[in-house]
Chains A and B, each alone.
Chain A
């Protein structure tokens, strides 16, 4: 196993090199450059202490500078140039002009905006719900652990998992995708199957439960109709297997579901810790004042953890802006599912157009910037 040997060697050299560097540079500083003896012993010690932080910081700063800070400027520069036969030619904002003229760019920007609203909102909402509910039951920790689990799964793995759910086989064949299997249960419209079709079967008790179900369902229908008349009256192709990932616009939501599924656990863990940090006496006071559990949750707890909710929201927002693997693996950005990160990848490595690719990378940076500024501002505030 040459490869394993090489990896092992790299670890040894890497770690050994680090230790060696820190150790040797300290020795050199203390013994050779500013020795703590002779006439200037005191001054030398304080001088050495002035330099030492930079010795400690140097490898990290060098790596950060080279691998993150420099590329930002280099990309900004690349976005103003065109790569013509290996030569960079300065073209000003021509790349941006070209990009703004492309439908695919606007499509990815539009999709990204929808992603930016839906995914953080849904993940945070589900996370909050899961955090609140699991804190109140005995097997809550197991439940948490299971909801948290997708965190360990790669975006690509999740794409495979969800592709199986969205799988479509032709009409008449057995559907192996869970979503289509469920969809096909709704032949002849969603309510007819659930409530009416099966009413005739079953014993008296079951009939009674069904009647209750109908009553509840009727209420739900009424509510649903009142806020989504259009959606409720739309002619949906019930009874036919659907190609979920090929329905324009809505397929975006099927991709978003994957990321929501992945990110909810993260939101839940952090919000759960925040909920536990809510002072007991505020809750007790609310109880004494006769608040019901919902009021306690929405009017006492949620306002107190608002700061954490914002942090979770922004963290997921950043993940969304970088989302690439899911779109790449599931649709490749086809059928109107393009997003910025994948658009950028296509430009950079498929079309090999560094100018426009860099320009789109700059758009991603631009979208991240408000969060960046906000984070830095918060960190500064905290340190004072």
Chain B
């Protein structure tokens, strides 16, 4: 909107800053998880994810020297490296009181004929006049700069090696098995009903529309036990068929409502001309209404897909917990309970689960917005 009078530069800046701040607030949580999912477990617990993006100089946790002892010219020598990563030591020490007593390359005299040298790249040489076998080796305190380092190991782990009996990949497949049919099946059922409610005259139509608007807000919590009873009674039990039917039922009010609102807005002329030309309702529906309603169909499909993919409650109730039925959301809730501290696993699993909805979201945002507006503003 450019019609605000007296647009002061200061105000414009304030707007830019506020929006920037808002966006930051809304993006940072997700970013945190994304960054964490590319760090190893050790990295995640040793520093906050926001430090992972930059080379960071920090005091490392003390490390005890370890390695093969070799006898050379009468002294016992252990050589090795302190870090597995490409860190650069800027100072080091051998006691917690003076963790930065020496510069890299300097040699520390530890007494008892023991000396220690630490190089900038973390390589150390420890020598002792007597064998150190069976004794405790000295600890090294270092201050080191570590460049950002990322790994895709977490994803390999969660996708392909089963945890608690189930791999995330399997759960991913299960979720897809739930979500795709549960998205496609209600569309056609709803489209026919929406057409009848939008363009056919019959007694009780207004009442039906009102009923559907009412059902739109009925909490599905009420449906759980009675439906489970029905499913058990007719032999479906807990399984995919049951959850497809349940999602279809729960998705229908929104589908009918959205599609009816859209179809009512289609030009009356086209439909009446077709009728005059002798088209039946069935032909009008399949040849005219359905193709014209594509945007509304697409927006409902996106809603339903996001909803079924992200759902936890319906899956908990209507699906079993066995390996071939547990969905992503259920799996992650279990992980949060049993391995709540293993952020490398949790973050990668969570990202696998939100990757597909995010992809759908960014590629089809237009339809999503249109659907939202049709459903709410009217």
Chain A residue contacts of B340, Cβ below 8 A = 163
Min CB–CB distance A290 → chain B (angstroms): 9
Chain A residue contacts of B316, Cβ below 8 A = 345, 349
- Let me know if A52 is at the binding interface, CB within 8 A: yes
Check if B309 sits within 8 Å of A178, measured CB to CB.
no
Q: B13-43: which have CB < 8 Å to A? A: 15-16, 18-19, 22-23, 26-30, 32-33, 36
Known contacts A69-B215, A270-B377, A348-B224: A136-B4 contact under CB 8 Å: yes
Min CB–CB distance A178 → chain B (angstroms): 6
Check if A71 sits within 8 Å of B222, measured CB to CB.
yes
Chain A residue contacts of B181, Cβ below 8 A = 7, 10-11, 14
Check if A364 sits within 8 Å of B32, measured CB to CB.
no
CA distance A164 to B336 in the complex (A): 11
Check if A19 sits within 8 Å of B245, measured CB to CB.
no
Chain B residue contacts of A109, Cβ below 8 A = none
Check if A3 sits within 8 Å of B174, measured CB to CB.
yes
Among residues of A, the one whose C-beta sits closest to the C-beta of B50 is: A178
CA distance A145 to B329 in the complex (A): 24
Among residues of A, the one whose C-beta sits closest to the C-beta of B45 is: A176
CA distance A154 to B331 in the complex (A): 13
CA distance A324 to B358 in the complex (A): 22
Known contacts A293-B11, A380-B206: A357-B225 contact under CB 8 Å: yes
Check if A345 sits within 8 Å of B313, measured CB to CB.
yes
Chain B residue contacts of A292, Cβ below 8 A = 6
Min CB–CB distance B336 → chain A (angstroms): 6
B189, B230, B362, B377 — most chain A CB neighbours (10 Å): B189
A contact patch SS: helix
CA distance A13 to B244 in the complex (A): 13
- Let me know if B156 is at the binding interface, CB within 8 A: no
Give the residue of B185, B192, B378 whose beta carbon is less than 8 angstroms from that of A14: B185
Check if A287 sits within 8 Å of B3, measured CB to CB.
yes
Give the residue of B19, B49, B193, B250 whose beta carbon is less than 8 angstroms from that of A60: B193
Known contacts A164-B347, A357-B225: A26-B376 contact under CB 8 Å: no
List residues of chain B with CB under 8 Å of any chain A CB.
1, 3-6, 11-12, 15-16, 18-19, 22-23, 26-30, 32-33, 36, 44-50, 173-174, 176-177, 180-181, 184-185, 188-190, 192-193, 195-197, 200-202, 205-206, 208-227, 229-230, 240-241, 244-246, 248-250, 252-253, 256, 280-282, 285, 306, 309-313, 316-317, 324, 329, 332-333, 336-337, 340, 343, 346-347, 349-350, 353-354, 357-358, 360-362, 365, 368-369, 372-373, 376-378
The 8 closest A-B pairs by CB, nearest first: A67-B249, A154-B310, A152-B361, A74-B226, A60-B193, A71-B223, A56-B196, A160-B350
Given contacts A157-B354, A318-B217, 7 further A-B contacts (CB under 8 A): A60-B192, A64-B253, A71-B222, A74-B225, A137-B19, A160-B350, A164-B32
